[in-house]
Structure 1
Amino acid sequence: MQKFKYKPKPNAGNMRHRITFLKPPGEIVNGWPSKEWSEHVTVWAEIKTLKGARLFEAAAVQMQDMKTFGIRYRDDVSDNMRIRHKGQDYDITSMTNDDEKDEYFTILIREVL
């Protein structure tokens, strides 16, 4: 008999922040290639704070604002996009599909200087 470890699903109630995904320059917008980052989609997100070793690791590289966002899975976003939150743009460092279940993304981001 196998024992299954209980793993709670992410709480949608924590997704109370609005973030906007931006398409890179050169993407087709209204039939023409764009010259600037253009808005793609705005979604609800959860902000997770960096703690312990991960915070130390992040601070050792550069003094940039680093955050972790959690969003529901979407197939129209990718890691070559940027994220805008409260007027600040962020590059996506890593974007992982939690447990490969197509339910939730965890996104590590770094402030664009």
Structure 2
Amino acid sequence: MRAGKMDRRVTLLKWQETGRDAMNTPIEGWAAVATVWAQQRPERGGERFTAAQIAGARVMTFHIRYRTDIGVKDRLSYEGQIFEISDVRELGRRVVSEIDCVAVQE
């Protein structure tokens, strides 16, 4: 992977304890783990017919330097949009992690 192609910044998010309240109960939420350089792959759009409505999905693929600490339970933030990670694959011999993700509709 050539570093020149990695021209986007993405933030990797994990669900974890972010603090404690007055009763010492854990407060959980999405916390930033790392901000890394990434290459955005061409977008694929998707539409599906559900409950008599058409629902669209924004699907993105990113390539980042190989990491072992991300998975499908995590999220990714890119340009102010939150994406749920749907798949993480290793490309090459631990050179690149390819991340497929879908935009979260809130």
TM class by shorter-chain length?
A: 0.7 to 0.9
Q: Which amino acid aligns with 2:74?
A: M
Q: CA deviation at 1:97?
A: 0.7
User: Is the helix fraction higher in 1 or 2?
Assistant: 1
Over residues 45-100 of structure 1, what are the superposed CA-to-partner deviations in whole Å (9 max), with x where a residue is unaligned? 000004xxxx4xx514441211110001012222211000011100011110114x
- 1:1-113 mapped onto 2 (5 Å cutoff): 10-24=1-15, 27-29=16-18, 33-50=26-43, 55=44, 58-61=45-48, 62-99=55-92, 101-113=93-105
The alignment covers a number of residue pairs equal to 95
Structure 2 residue ranges without an equivalent (≥5): 49-54
Q: Which amino acid aligns with 1:59?
A: G
Q: Which amino acid aligns with 2:3?
A: A
Query: Could you tell me the TM-score, scaled by structure 1's length?
Result: 0.73
Q: CA deviation at 1:102?
A: 1.1
Q: Which amino acid aligns with 1:76?
A: D
1:41 to 1:33, Cα distance in 2 relative to 1, 3 A = farther
* Sequence identity (%): 27
Q: CA deviation at 1:38?
A: 1.0
Identify which range, 62-71 or 37-46, moves more after superposition. 62-71
Aligned-partner Cα distance in 1 for 2:26–2:62: 29
Q: Does the CA contact (< 8 Å) of 2:46 and 2:57 recur in 1?
A: yes
Q: CA deviation at 1:30?
A: 6.5
| Structure 1 vs Structure 2 CA RMSD | 2.1
User: Is the strand fraction higher in 1 or 2?
Assistant: 2
